[in-house]
């Protein structure tokens, strides 16, 4: 897509777009063409920025079609991550995109074959949960390992899950717990919004039940509280698939508090103030 073609596409989108319905989308596109006919941002950058605007409101067809076209153009220019990011919209079924694991896997495979590490991690999820394919823990482990070696914390904690449950590898809760702690020790500010919640939830569950470590209800409570904070932000941001995890974090706190309450001295010693 040439600069002139991109400029025209933005104008066409703005002509159809309801500015009152999606003010951030409107203002962002208008700013791209307001001062100069030369658009500095790449199609890939524009597509991802549009997905961040006016969250979590669904995007109208005109904007969705424009985003798809931008990602496809970025892929044609050699950006494999563009196919991964497009696949993620269909995997999540958010922002007005239909949920289609079939389309997601198709885009993930294209991106992975062209070197996208994120797409390899996402394929791990598809094989792990059987998204439009039979569950295959061996392939899931393979793809998660590629991501983990490249520093992807989500891939690493999913490998922890496989050790915790004995999927493809021998069940080893101690190893799983060490992996979860490693994820927390290496958590970056950039990674925290997308994976700290699930990891803290797993750590809290391990401390609560003594999975791979000693039972520790106080540490469990702390982890569940941190998990709730991050998971709440994820759900509020439109990632509704984490609602069950959020509920588990809340329920985990109640269980930890009940255990802690039982360890307190009897109430006969208390006096009224």
Question: What's the pLDDT at 269?
Answer: 56
Q: Among 114, 106, 105, 58, which Cα is nearest to 81's?
A: 114
SS3 per residue for 162-183: HHHHCCCCCCCHHHHHHHHHHH
The pLDDT of residue 273 is 57
What is the mean pLDDT of each successive set of 10 residues along the chain, which is 273 residues long? Answer: 90 92 94 80 95 91 95 94 95 90 94 91 94 93 91 94 97 98 94 96 98 98 98 89 95 97 75 58
Residue 237 has a pLDDT of 84
Residue 140 contacts residue 147 (beta carbons within 8 Å): no
Separation between Cα atoms, residue 234 and residue 117, nearest integer Å: 22
Instruction: Please classify residue 159 by burial: count the beta carbons closer than 10 Å to its beta carbon, then call 0-12 exposed, 13-18 middle and 19+ buried.
Output: buried
User: Residues 215, 191: contact at Cβ < 8 Å?
Assistant: no
* pLDDT on residue 238: 79
Q: Are 256 and 217 in contact (CB under 8 A)?
A: yes
pLDDT the model gives residue 94: 84
pTM: 0.81
Measured CA distances, 237 to 55, 69, 153, 193 (Å): 7, 24, 20, 10
The answer to whether residues 103 and 71 touch, using CB atoms and an 8 Å cutoff, is no
């Amino acid at each position: 897509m040439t600069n002139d073609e991109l400029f025209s596409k933005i104008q066409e989108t703005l002509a159809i777009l309801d500015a009152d319905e999606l003010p951030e989308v409107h203002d962002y596109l208008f700013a791209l063409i307001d001062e100069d006919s030369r658009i500095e941002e790449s199609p890939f950058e524009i597509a991802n920025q549009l997905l961040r605007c006016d969250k979590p409101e669904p995007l109208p067809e005109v904007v969705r079609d424009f985003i798809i076209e931008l990602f496809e153009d970025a892929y044609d220019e050699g950006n494999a991550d563009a196919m991964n990011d497009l696949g993620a919209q269909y995997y999540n079924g958010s922002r007005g995109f239909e949920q289609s694991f079939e389309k997601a896997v198709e885009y993930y495979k294209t991106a992975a074959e062209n070197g996208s590490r994120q797409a390899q991690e996402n394929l791990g999820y598809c094989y792990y949960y059987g998204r439009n394919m039979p569950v295959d823990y061996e392939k899931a482990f393979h793809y998660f390992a590629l991501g983990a070696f490249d520093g992807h914390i989500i891939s690493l904690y999913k490998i922890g899950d496989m050790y915790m449950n004995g999927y493809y590898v021998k069940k080893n809760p101690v190893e799983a717990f060490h992996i979860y702690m490693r994820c927390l020790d290496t958590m970056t500010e950039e990674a925290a919004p997308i994976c700290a919640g699930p990891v803290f939830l797993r750590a809290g569950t391990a401390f609560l039940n003594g999975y791979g470590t000693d039972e520790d209800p106080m540490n469990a409570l702390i982890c569940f509280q941190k998990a709730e904070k991050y998971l709440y932000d994820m759900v509020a941001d439109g990632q509704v698939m984490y609602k069950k995890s959020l509920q588990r974090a809340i329920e985990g706190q109640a269980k930890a508090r009940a255990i802690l309450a039982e360890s307190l001295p009897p109430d006969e010693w208390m006096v009224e103030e």
